[in-house]
């Protein structure tokens, strides 16, 4: 353990798998008590953390539901105390050409990826302000910077998150709370392997367009998250940290 975040309490949405799981493992290594909020069973993440003597707790939480988020806030506070770090990682990325996107599809993506940031921040920001210390990290996407066809609702949702985080940063910096984003390029997770990978070899195409000539894995994002969650980044706020192996859009 590095212990850089000993005594802190973190909430990670989407921590049951993929990038969120890598975030949870790293935060626990840094000494954070980790609360995992996911609609899926997060037992695997909890077991991995406890196996290494870390501290973890998980609850089923749909981040589109204000009621679930209030239950999450109450559960975390009772279990560990008020949260210091909020990592808004859970998100969905259905691949659909624009003309196939129904208004329901559009709203669903916005609800899971963007409205959740509103509900989560409303729930967890007040205690951070009271403590005079807080870290909010949202997961955006490098796709926003170049645009990617076949998922315009998804890319729009990540752009909205960037606007939200930048604006919130300017309101809460005075209370010792920073708000930043990590924007990953394509990461190999179970979801990307079974979903967007299906029709074309995106991993290989992106690997060739990146400066770093290998496919990104969730652990590649853990260091940047640990930095943004720590005191080392106290003067960094409203920023989007692109972690994409130097992806060149072409």
Ligand X SMILES: NC(=O)c1ccc[n+]([C@@H]2O[C@H](COP(=O)([O-])OP(=O)(O)OC[C@H]3O[C@@H](n4cnc5c(N)ncnc54)[C@H](O)[C@@H]3O)[C@@H](O)[C@H]2O)c1
Candidate ranges 32-40, 44-52, 69-77, 224-232; the one touching ligand X (CB under 6 A): 32-40
Looking at the Cβ atoms of 63 and 178, the one nearer to ligand X is 63
- Residue count (the chain): 250
245 touches ligand X (CB under 6 A):
no
Which residue of 30, 62, 84, 220 would you call a contact of ligand X, by CB under 6 A?
62
59 touches ligand X (CB under 6 A):
no
Q: Do 13 and 66 touch, CB atoms closer than 8 A? A: no
137 touches ligand X (CB under 6 A):
no
Helix axes of 152-172 and 103-110: crossing angle, nearest 10 degrees: 30
One character per residue 90-129, x = contact with ligand X (rule: CB under 6 A): xxxx------------------x-----------------
Looking at the Cβ atoms of 6 and 67, the one nearer to ligand X is 67
Which residue of 151, 181, 187, 226 would you call a contact of ligand X, by CB under 6 A?
187
Residue from 93, 118, 154, 175 carrying the catalytic annotation = 154
Find all residues with CB under 8 Å of 31, minimum gap 6, and list them: 1, 2, 3, 4, 5, 6, 7, 8
189 touches ligand X (CB under 6 A):
yes
Which residue of 11, 117, 139, 241 would you call a contact of ligand X, by CB under 6 A?
139
Tokens 């807080």 locate to: 134
Report the alpha-carbon distance of residue 69 to residue 231 in Å, rounded: 27
Q: Can you point out the beta strands (E) in the chain?
A: 9-13, 33-38, 55-60, 85-88, 134-139, 177-184, 240-243
17 touches ligand X (CB under 6 A):
yes
Q: Is 154 a catalytic residue?
A: yes
Residue 148 corresponds to which tokens in the numbers above? 């990617």
In eight-state DSSP terms, residue 220 is G
Q: What are phi and psi of 133, to 5 degrees?
A: -155, 130
Strand partners, 241: 182
Residues that bind ligand X (rule: CB under 6 A) add up to a total of: 29
Looking at the Cβ atoms of 48 and 173, the one nearer to ligand X is 48
Task: Give least dist CB 166 to ligand X, A.
Answer: 18
Task: Give least dist CB 185 to ligand X, A.
Answer: 7
DSSP H helix total and E strand total for the chain: 10, 7
Which residue of 4, 31, 39, 95 would you call a contact of ligand X, by CB under 6 A?
39
Report the alpha-carbon distance of residue 198 to residue 51 in Å, rounded: 34
Question: Which residues are annotated as catalytic?
Answer: 154
Which residues of this chain interact with ligand X, rule CB under 6 A? 13-14, 16-20, 38-40, 61-64, 89-93, 112, 139, 141, 184, 186-187, 189-192
């Amino acid at each position: 353990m590095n212990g850089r975040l000993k005594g802190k309490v973190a909430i990670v949405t989407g921590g049951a798998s993929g990038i969120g799981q890598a975030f949870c493992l790293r935060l626990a290594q840094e000494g954070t008590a980790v609360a995992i909020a996911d609609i899926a069973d997060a037992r695997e993440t909890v077991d991995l953390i406890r196996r290494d003597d870390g501290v973890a707790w998980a609850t089923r939480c749909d981040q589109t539901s204000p009621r679930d988020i209030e239950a999450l806030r109450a559960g975390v506070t009772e279990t560990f105390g008020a949260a210091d770090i909020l990592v808004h990682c859970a998100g969905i990325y259905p691949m659909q050409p624009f003309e196939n996107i129904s208004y329901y599809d559009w709203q669903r993506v916005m609800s899971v990826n963007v409205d959740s940031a509103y509900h989560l921040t409303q729930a967890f920001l007040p205690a951070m302000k009271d403590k005079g210390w807080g870290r909010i990290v949202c997961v955006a996407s490098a796709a926003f910077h170049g645009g990617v066809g076949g998922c315009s609702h998804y890319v729009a949702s990540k752009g909205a998150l960037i606007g939200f985080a930048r604006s919130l940063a300017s309101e809460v910096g005075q209370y010792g709370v920073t708000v930043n984003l990590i924007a990953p390029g394509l990461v190999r997770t179970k979801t990307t392997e079974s979903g967007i990978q299906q029709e074309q070899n995106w991993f290989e195409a992106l690997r060739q367009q990146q400066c770093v000539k290998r496919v990104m894995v969730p652990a590649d994002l853990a260091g940047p998250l640990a930095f943004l969650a720590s005191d080392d980044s106290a003067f960094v706020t409203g920023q989007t940290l692109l972690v994409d192996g130097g992806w060149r859009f072409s």
